[in-house]
Each structure stands twice: as C-alpha cells, then as structure tokens.
Structure 1
Amino acid sequence: MTHRISTYQKNCQIGRFLIYGLLLFLTSSCNRQGSSKDKDGESRVDTWVAPEDANHRLNPFQDEQAIAAGQAIYQVYCWNCHGESGMGDGAAGGAMGSQPANFYSPSVLDQTDGAIFHKISVGRNVMPGFGEILGEEERWQLVSYVRHLGKGMAETLASSPIALVEDLEITHWMKVAPRAIRILYNQQTDAIWYATFEGSVYRIALDQSPISPELVISVEDHGINRMQGLEMRDSTLILTGNIRVNDDKGTTGWMMRVNLRPDGSKEVSKVFSTVEYGTTNTPFDHGWSATRISPDGKHIFVVSGSRTDHGEVQDNLGAYPNSRNEPLTAAIFRFPIGTKDLLLPNDTKALKERGYLYAEGIRNAFDINFDRDGNLFAVVNSGDYDQSEDMFWVREGHHYGFPWVMGGLESPQQFPDWHPDPAKDPFLNTAAAAWPDDFYNDPDFPKRPEGVVFTPGIDNYGPAAATYRDPETGKILEAADTGAPVSTFTAHSSPLGLNFDNDDQLSGTYKGGAFTLRYTKGAKAALMKPFTDYGEDLLHLQLTYNADKDNFDVHTYRIAEGFTQPVDAVLVGKDLYVIEYGGRQKGGNIWKVTFP
C-alpha cells in the first residue's frame, strides 16, 4: 500500500483544529459520558471521583524545581484546553462546547494530590492516560504545577510579539473581550470590528482618541451562541455559527443578517439555517465559520468544517448511529447575497442542484479570502495524523480530498488492511486527541467518489513553515533542504488569519503579498513539537501561478512571532491588526503590525 498520490505532493502530514492540544480533564471536562445542566444552563459532565486509595498518595516532588519542570510539561500537553493560566479557558475546550477543569475552582482545589495524579495517569474516555506518555516523576511535577496555578501563586502572562525582520514595527493596540474569534475593517464606518465566540460584536472607531470599543451586537440580537464567522458590507453585518439542539447532542448551522440603521436601530433577518445533524462531543465539531462576501458583492461564501477527525464514525454515544461526515460539513458553500429564510437540507445532491455547494472535501478551512483577481483561497487544518496543513486555491465544483487525502497524504484508515500501531506507523502520534479511540481498522470506511479527481493543495517550497514527515521513512525533513515541496504548511500549524495586499498598499517585498498566522504553539504543543520549535507567528506568503500544474506555488517567510493564540487578522493600509483568542476569562489583545 502506498500513501503517495502525486509527484507534486509526495511529502506531508498534519494537524488539527484550530485549536487543540492534549486533553487533561480532571472534574468538569469534555468526555463521552452522560451530561446534564448546571444552574446556569451550561453543559457539565458527571463528576469524576478518584478511587479512595489514590487519595492517600503523597507528592514527593513539590519544590520550585518540580514546579518549573511541571510548567514545561503543562505548556506542551495542557494549555490548549485548560488555558495559559489554568482557568479552563483554552480554545480547544471552547470548540468542544464543554469547559475543561478550572484549576482555581473548589472542585479541583479540594482534591488531594494523589487524586489528581491518578486522573492524569489513567485518563478516562476522550482523555488519554498520561501513564504511558509521562514518567511518574513528570506526572508528579505536573501535579505540583497545577497546584501552583490553583493557589494563585503564578499566572502565565501574554508576552509581547517581536518582529523577525528589521522593517516591521509591532505595537500593542488594545485589550479585547475573552474568546475573540474574528476581526475586520469596514471602510464606511472607518472602524475595526471584532466578534466573540459567544456572539458579541464590537466596533472600534479609528478616529477616536483614545480608542474605545463599543458593544454593538449581542447574542440576544441574533441568537447564534456558538459564533465563528463575521463579515460586513456597507452597514450590514453577516454572522455565522451554530446552535445546539437535541439536548446538546445535535446542531444546526445558522447565518444571520444584521442591518445597522442610521438611527441606531437594527433589522435582523435570517440568511439560512440547516436541518439538524449530529455533534460528536469531541474537538472535531468544527462548525460553520469563515465567511466572505465576494469582491463583486453578489455572493456570500461560508465554510462548514468537518464533524470528524479523518472520516471515522462519530455517533455521540449512539445518538446519531453510524454518522461520519455529513453533506452539510467539510465543504465551502455559496449563496446569493439576498438569500433569506433558506433551510438547507443534509443532502449532497440537493445542495448541488440548488447551486449552494461550491467546493467539497475541505476539512476545516477556518479562514478564506480573495486575492486581487477574485481567486478564492483557503487555509486548512488537517487531522491528528501527521499530515501537513493545506492551503487551497478554491474553485467551483472541485473536490479537495477529505477524508481520503489531507496534506497530499492518503489517510490510512480508508484501507481495510491498515491496523494502527504507533510502533510501526510514525505518523500516529499518541499525544493526539484522536488516539487511540478514533484510529482503528475500518473496513466500512466510505469508498472514494467514482470519477472524481482530487485537487491538490498549494506546494510550499519554504524556507519557513515547510517541515514534513517523509512518507517513506517517517523522518522529519525540511522542504528548503530537500527541494521537495510540502502541501502546504508544517503539520498541526493551524493556519488562519489569511490576508492579501490587493491594493498594493505595502512596499518592497511585501507589495501585493499575502499573510497568514499560525495558531499553534510550536515546541510547546504536543503534536507540533516533533516538527518545529516555531508557532504562534506571522508568515509572509509569496504566491506564484504555475501553469504546468494549473495551481499556485508558494514561498513562506516568518516575519513575526510571540503572539498568544492569534486567531485572526485584518490588513488596513500599511497596518495588520492581529487579534488573540484570549481564553474564557482574561481576554486577549489586538497587536498592530506596521509595515514599511
């Protein structure tokens, strides 16, 4: 069995969602047990009680050296769910719809060190047991650091980003509300707008001094309580996201239109909603997210991410039997700008016949954008197998391979003779959320669509963000060293915040260029660590059309680093505004990157 599909992409591997690392769940966490509601209406899971004998174990590693070692382990395995400061506010936890443990909460503080050590060691449900990943001393060191956080003795603070080239200036612009997910600029209002996952939209007028955010829209106005998409044309906002149904076991996609009138009132209408389909209670429910209006103003484009990691069965404890991917997921859709009160069916044939299904087989394009020629591009997260992260030139009617191909590499679970074994398959990372339950021998894996040719990703020749695992040897290689391109970015990078200098506002090598962020923390992220020390950075992309491939090639350059969970960006003249996710409680920042 070979995993190579073309000479253009013989390399590659990759990563996940926007947003997740290894799962450390102690009490209130996301797992596959029964759930109920707390007094605030939030989903919670049944309490996890350690066995009595675990409570009597004492921690032999509690000095400052142990705490420092535990912090290093935490930054590799735990921060992306539990947050930088342990408040349970990591972006991965938010994506799963259930809050991971807050180490400041009484339910954690009241546990013994032995109970916490037990839970770290054995795991439960979607939480892997760290007993086979970390040594005993390392697990005790991690307990010491969790205690250190919980007692409030330290809090990880966001550091200031730094420029990696001489001609950039980076300044702090403002603090933002927690769980920020989108930022845009609207010329008519001359304002920066940003949105949060909970559905709030803020306006920041650029002519104000000092700058001050104004809350313009809240979830009560539009009803989308898991919002991931924001777009604006003239005085009209387009909001996209999901609403949970069936006692949180299912979901519906929603897009709402909010017209802001001159007198300050709002006219709210529905663009579309979808029929119900199943969620998974895993990090793989990516939902309806990136939203763009076409340059000619005639259409709205929107991404619906996959509900699986790589096409496996995700039935949510039997609520949706045999469910894998659905027609309403892993695709890019297009709607006429005036669409109103549309109900989308979960039917591929009907979606195509009505002209709504624009492109298929795209796992999780958390950001899309248009270049000066009206070409649509997407930056994409692959799954937990060590496949690369794609950037696609998105064209109508094309299929981009998911779940059969990601990052130019065939997903092995589609082959009936594949039996997952990390000792034999170096692309299997035991730190992955999908391991071990979601990688399995799967003779019922759906067959490839007959007569469909998958469109490959854009080839990246480096020198940056082009590290890959060789499909023949499993060794980590650099495209800049081997001359073999990657499709497209280093595994598990989580690229997002795609921007183009379409008006030639920039100068020098940046003129007419493209830019994207990488959300993942590099060496501090368990999945990305084998590939690179670098993450949470800003990349400059130099794209060129290759007529022989009828596709684009790209060279990538790191130009800034040190952001904390950068989730989106917008280019305004010579300034790129980068917004950080900011967790559930602390809030993030907007950084202004000024080009020469």
Structure 2
Amino acid sequence: MFQNRTTIKGVFGRIIGIVCICLWFGVLSWSCSGSTDKKEVEIADETTWKAPEEANHKVNPMEGSDAIEAGSALYMVYCWNCHGETGLGDGAAGGAMGSKPANFHTETFLNQTDGAIFWKISEGRGAMPGFEEVLGEEERWQLTTFVRQLGQMEITEPTDAPKPLVEGISVTQFAKVAPRATRVFYRESDHSLWYATFTGDVYTWSLDDAVAQPKKVVSVEDHGIDRLQGATIYGDTLLLTGNIRVNDNKGTTGWMMRVVLHPEGKHEVSKVFSTVEYGTTNTPFDHGWSAVKVSPDGKYVYVVSGSRTDHGEVQDNLGAYPDSRDEPLTARIFRFPIDAKDLSLPNDLEKLKEKGYVFAEGIRNAYDFDFDEEGRMFAVVNSGDYDQNEDMFWVREGHHYGFPWVMGGMETPQQFPDWEADPEKDPFLNPAAAAYPDDFYNDPGFAKRPEGVEFTQGMRNFGPDANKYRDEETGKIMDGSDTGVAITTFTPHSSPLGLVFDRGNNLPGQFKGNALTLRYTNGERSSLMKPFTSNGEDLLHLELSYNEALDNFDLKTTRIVARFSQPVDAVLVGNDLYVIEYGGRQKGGNLWKVTFEK
C-alpha cells in the first residue's frame, strides 16, 4: 500500500497484568502533571462527569464470576495502561491527560450504579476513548462488572520476581523505590546509585552499604521541575530535565537545571536552559523533555525533546494553540556546552541551528540513549499508534531520522491524500488505539517533507526475538525469524527503554561489549501490541555489527530476562544491571539487580 512503510489477591488470584503501553508510549507517555490523590479524583468524578439519569437505572445483565473473568481479560488489554494495574488511576500513560483517570477504589466511584459505569465506558470523555464501537454491549457489561470487583479488592504486593531466560544470569530484589520512578544512574567516584521520580525527587545510597537505604537528596522545591523525566550526575553535579506547565496547564516550557551538590546539603542550583512557551496537548502523546546524558569527553550535555503528537497530526489542546503540530522545540535531540547557563531557547528552528543546539532531527520519542565504547550515540525510539515498528538509531550530528513522515521504516499514511482512516481498509490501523478515531484522518494540511533531506534509517533487527511485523502486502502479522526478513527495528508498540552499553567490557561471555535494552510494554496487557506477541516487559540482549554497505549497524536481539513490572530505566555497574520500575502513583516499584555471573 505505502512503500517502506500488582497483583491483587482475591477470588481470581493474580488476574491483573504488569505492563502497559508506554510510552502510549506510543506511550511510555511521560507528560503527566502532578500526582493524583483520592480527594482530587473524587472531586473530578463527582463534579465534572455524571451519567444521565436514564443510564443510572440500567441493570447489569452480566454479573457473576464468568463476567468478572471475561472483564479482567478486557481490562488487561484496554484499560490497564491508564487506570493502572490495581485500578488506582496510576497507569503511566494516563498521566498525560488533562483530567486524571478514575481511581476505582474511591467511594465516589463505588457509589455509582453499574449503569453509570457502563455509560462512561461506552461514551468516553476527553482523552479517554469511548468503547461503544470497539467493544460489544456484552463486553462492556463484563468490563463494568470487573472494574467494580477490582475497586473492592484488597491491594497486595506482587510476589513474582523477574525470570532469567538464559543460563548465567540471576535476578534479585535490591530495593523498593518511591512511586513514579523515571531514572536510575550511577556515580563511580563514590560507588553510589541514584534514582529520580517524575515528581522531582532524587535519592541516593552507597552500593557499599550492606542494606540499600535510599536517602532523598533534592526535591522539586530545590529545582522547580514538577514533571521530571531526565536525570544524570556528572561529578558533583546533577543535571535534571523536564517540563513545567503554563497558561493554566494548556502550555508548557522545557527546562534543564544544574544542581551542584555539597555535603552539608546547601546545594547550588542554576538554570542551564528554559524554553519559550509552546502548546502542550490533551493527549498521551506529549512526550516532553526527557533523557539527558553527558558526552564521554565531558564537553557537552545532550537532551531529548520528544514529539507532542502521535504522528504529526494537529494537536491544538482543545483550541488553545490553533493548528499546532510538532514544533521546532520537539522531536529532536539537542546538545549544549557542559557549562551552559541561563539559555533561553526560542521556538525557531533556524535560530536553534545557528546556535549549534540542534544535534539530530526527526526522532519521535527517544526516551533513552547511550554511548558505546567509541563514543557513538545510539537511541531507542517508540513509534505511534499505527502498526509501525519501533526504531533503534545510530544518532549522528546533522542527520534527520524521518519523523513524522517515516517511523519504523514505514511511511506515515496521513501524508498521502488518498488514504482513508478505515480499519476495514487499512489493517495497520487498530480501532483500540488511543489516537483512533479523532487523530487519524485524511489530512491535506500534513507537513511537506523537507527538501533535499535524506532520512537516516533505523537499524535492522535479524532476531531471533522482538522482530514481529505486519506485512505491507497482506496485512498479516509475521515473524522475521520465520520469513527471513530483517525489520526496522523492534516489534511494534514495544516501547524500548533503558538502553545501556557495556563500555568497559565488564560483562562475561556472549554479552561482553554488547548492549542491553528493556521493553516497557507487555503484549498480554496492550491492545496494540497483543496482536503481535504475548511477550514484553523484558530485557533484550543486543549484538551490534557494522554494515559497511549501509553505513549503519545491524542487530541480533535475544530475550534474556522476563516478568518485570513497568521497567523504565537501567544502569550497568560492572557486571550488574540495575533495573528500576515505574511503580505507579502510590505503591512504588522495585529496583532489581540483574547479575551476569562470571
């Protein structure tokens, strides 16, 4: 068609899964506003969204254990990514919405009739899609029955540990972490591990301690970034990136702050940069300023600014920013001198380039990147809600990687005037997608391709894992290992995160000098990834080899650890990989130590 184109223990035991679409990742979408408490959710539900009187009186015909079991399966596919594993409204993707996802454990929710819940599931509101056209009436009643049961269940901690899939690897629980963890990083000088949360807190402890007891070092009051997505340390300096909402939460500004640490606790805080205001969105696709790292030579700091759209469509935030699509300040990787201070970044591409700040363009959401032993940059990138593959790029200065015109080696269909947004005609369009139907449409105003620019392709994956794809000719889902096709780069909707390279050659055997990355999404729990695979929430071993003919790298990809729960980042210390979990909005997650045994 187009070329290149937590466990809850109750009568059903462990019926809720442990992963959602990221990023919606498309989303690991990490553009949420502040935390949600019980009072906030209840007020929002009670005052802003009431079912009509006739809906309240409808009687649920699908009660009982069979309905709950069927509803639980539907919840794992369609709802978990926003409402959370235990129904607390703490799914990572839901944080991007202007209104918070419902917490099913509140009295306000439980006091509703089944008819009211059924009506809300059917109709949707704001960024929550209506399911009347996606699910049949019986399925919506089953889902209604299950979410009521879910809200009445006791929340307990998961007992399953991640499972190694190959010999020579062990996994142990290293520590509990605060809710909404986003980054984990390491300082070699004092052998200390650090992690940051979305709400702006940074913790640390020494790996020499017998018991991990993280201590809070800084908080949002110190640096001011209340949507913190990026954090790293360089010597005694923390570099923190994220967004601050403005214009009554309709707009945003990107920030990077420098925090020079002092033992007595009186830290020096200064601004590296802030951006002018530009429009945020009322969707899960507003990815914000995220990954940050210092170059191996210590001269520069690099930072990712993700896209504000799913695939280049108009996102005007309910009319607040008319005709806005992606901006010069989004979907790029930026570079600044390590000592930069008080920079003001305009929303003007030519001026940003004149200053030398733009390093690479056309990258939708590189939520993580790393450098190999040669100092080359690589990034893992998630695509949108269309069934395009996810990318891994060798990121080079001045290169353009195709977004929004190309993702996963495949062209975005909305740029073509004859495309129809009809799942019956286009199998790559999943009607369960958050972007469907409002954001997939015939789009004559789609941006024109930049003249004279050649897009750099993603790396090819030769498997044996994470290489499922949808065939362009037949629309059928294929396994590249069976067909001999090398895909660009990972199975659609995988949401790859936590990329690390073994720069010191500390890993043993076949892992030595290679790379590792996480998949945030689990096919069993994602309506978008489920058609491709039941795998996910796992650790992948990446073997890179340079292809001179393509002037690019090829990959061999193998699953080596499974059963994480929302893994968002990783750091390699010697032969130990520390994997941190997002942990929802209330209960917190785990920090796992994956040891590659010598």
| Alpha-carbon shift at residue 565 of structure 1 (Å) | 0.4
* Matched position secondary structure for 1:149: helix
| Alpha-carbon shift at residue 130 of structure 1 (Å) | 1.6
Is 1:547 aligned to 2:548, yes or no? yes
1:27 aligns with none
1:567 aligns with 568
**Which residue identity lines up with residue 406 of structure 2 in the other structure?**
V
| Alpha-carbon shift at residue 105 of structure 1 (Å) | 1.5
| Alpha-carbon shift at residue 206 of structure 1 (Å) | 1.0
Is 1:467 aligned to 2:468, yes or no? yes
CA distance in 1, matches of 2:119, 2:26: 20
1:361 aligns with 362
C-alpha distance after superposition, 1:336-366 (max 9, x if no partner): 0000000000000011111000000000000
Aligned residues of 1:22 and 1:433 also touching (Cα < 8 A):
no
**Which residue identity lines up with residue 3 of structure 1 in the other structure?**
Q
Aligned residues of 2:26 and 2:495 also touching (Cα < 8 A):
no
* Matched position secondary structure for 2:132: helix
1:278 aligns with 279
C-alpha distance after superposition, 1:528-586 (max 9, x if no partner): 00100101000000001100000000000000110010000111111101000000001
Alignment of 1:451-466 (within 5 A): 451-466=452-467
Change (3 A) 1:226 1:398: same
Is 1:493 aligned to 2:494, yes or no? yes
CA distance in 1, matches of 2:241, 2:178: 19
* Matched position secondary structure for 2:558: strand
| Alpha-carbon shift at residue 154 of structure 1 (Å) | 5.6
2:2 aligns with 2
Aligned residues of 2:421 and 2:442 also touching (Cα < 8 A):
yes
| Residue segments in structure 1 that go unaligned for 5+ positions in a row | 6-14, 24-29, 32-36
2:511 aligns with 510
CA distance in 1, matches of 2:401, 2:98: 28
1:440 aligns with 441
1:18 aligns with 23
C-alpha distance after superposition, 1:369-422 (max 9, x if no partner): 000000000000100110000000000000000000000000010111212110
Aligned residues of 1:170 and 1:592 also touching (Cα < 8 A):
yes
Aligned residues of 2:390 and 2:488 also touching (Cα < 8 A):
yes
2:176 aligns with 175
* Matched position secondary structure for 1:131: coil
1:238 aligns with 239
C-alpha distance after superposition, 1:441-469 (max 9, x if no partner): 11111100000000000000111001001
| Alpha-carbon shift at residue 16 of structure 1 (Å) | 7.2
1:218 aligns with 219
* Matched position secondary structure for 2:194: strand
1:296 aligns with 297
Change (3 A) 1:155 1:440: farther
- Structure 1 window deviating more from structure 2 (101-110 vs 289-298): it is 101-110
Aligned residues of 1:543 and 1:554 also touching (Cα < 8 A):
yes
CA distance in 2, matches of 1:385, 1:424: 14
Aligned residues of 2:568 and 2:581 also touching (Cα < 8 A):
yes
Aligned residues of 1:16 and 1:383 also touching (Cα < 8 A):
no
Aligned residues of 1:22 and 1:432 also touching (Cα < 8 A):
no
Q: Quick one: percent identity of the two aligned structures?
A: 66
Change (3 A) 1:44 1:279: farther
1:10 aligns with none
Aligned residues of 1:566 and 1:581 also touching (Cα < 8 A):
yes
Aligned residues of 2:468 and 2:480 also touching (Cα < 8 A):
yes
**Which residue identity lines up with residue 352 of structure 2 in the other structure?**
L
| Alpha-carbon shift at residue 280 of structure 1 (Å) | 0.8
CA distance in 1, matches of 2:41, 2:221: 16
Change (3 A) 1:22 1:573: closer
* Matched position secondary structure for 2:449: coil
Alignment of 1:93-132 (within 5 A): 93-96=94-97, 98-132=99-133
CA distance in 2, matches of 1:219, 1:456: 38
| Alpha-carbon shift at residue 521 of structure 1 (Å) | 1.4
1:88 aligns with 89
Aligned residues of 2:22 and 2:92 also touching (Cα < 8 A):
no
1:419 aligns with 420
CA distance in 2, matches of 1:16, 1:585: 19
Aligned residues of 2:232 and 2:292 also touching (Cα < 8 A):
yes
Aligned residues of 1:22 and 1:81 also touching (Cα < 8 A):
no
Aligned residues of 1:16 and 1:384 also touching (Cα < 8 A):
no
Change (3 A) 1:286 1:525: same
| Alpha-carbon shift at residue 332 of structure 1 (Å) | 0.2
- Structure 1 window deviating more from structure 2 (319-328 vs 135-144): it is 135-144
Q: What is the RMSD of the two structures over their aligned residues, measured on CA atoms?
A: 2.1
Q: TM-score, normalised by structure 1?
A: 0.93
Aligned residues of 2:25 and 2:285 also touching (Cα < 8 A):
no
Change (3 A) 1:430 1:342: same
**Which residue identity lines up with residue 366 of structure 1 in the other structure?**
Y
* Matched position secondary structure for 2:48: coil
C-alpha distance after superposition, 1:413-435 (max 9, x if no partner): 01112121100000001111100
| Alpha-carbon shift at residue 265 of structure 1 (Å) | 1.8
- Structure 1 window deviating more from structure 2 (64-73 vs 263-272): it is 64-73
C-alpha distance after superposition, 1:245-288 (max 9, x if no partner): 00000000000000002333200000000000001110011000
**Which residue identity lines up with residue 75 of structure 2 in the other structure?**
Y
Aligned residues of 2:520 and 2:567 also touching (Cα < 8 A):
yes
**Which residue identity lines up with residue 231 of structure 1 in the other structure?**
T
2:17 aligns with none
* Matched position secondary structure for 1:132: coil
1:383 aligns with 384
Is 1:205 aligned to 2:206, yes or no? yes
| Residue segments in structure 2 that go unaligned for 5+ positions in a row | 6-19
CA distance in 2, matches of 1:381, 1:22: 8
CA distance in 2, matches of 1:276, 1:594: 44
**Which residue identity lines up with residue 296 of structure 1 in the other structure?**
D
1:589 aligns with 590
CA distance in 2, matches of 1:316, 1:478: 39
Alignment of 1:263-274 (within 5 A): 263-274=264-275
Change (3 A) 1:410 1:561: same
C-alpha distance after superposition, 1:208-249 (max 9, x if no partner): 122201000100000000000001111110000000000000
* Matched position secondary structure for 1:309: coil
**Which residue identity lines up with residue 4 of structure 1 in the other structure?**
N
- Structure 1 window deviating more from structure 2 (39-48 vs 250-259): it is 39-48
1:227 aligns with 228
Aligned residues of 1:85 and 1:155 also touching (Cα < 8 A):
no
| Alpha-carbon shift at residue 129 of structure 1 (Å) | 2.2
| Alpha-carbon shift at residue 122 of structure 1 (Å) | 2.5
1:12 aligns with none
Aligned residues of 2:231 and 2:292 also touching (Cα < 8 A):
yes
* Matched position secondary structure for 1:137: helix
1:321 aligns with 322
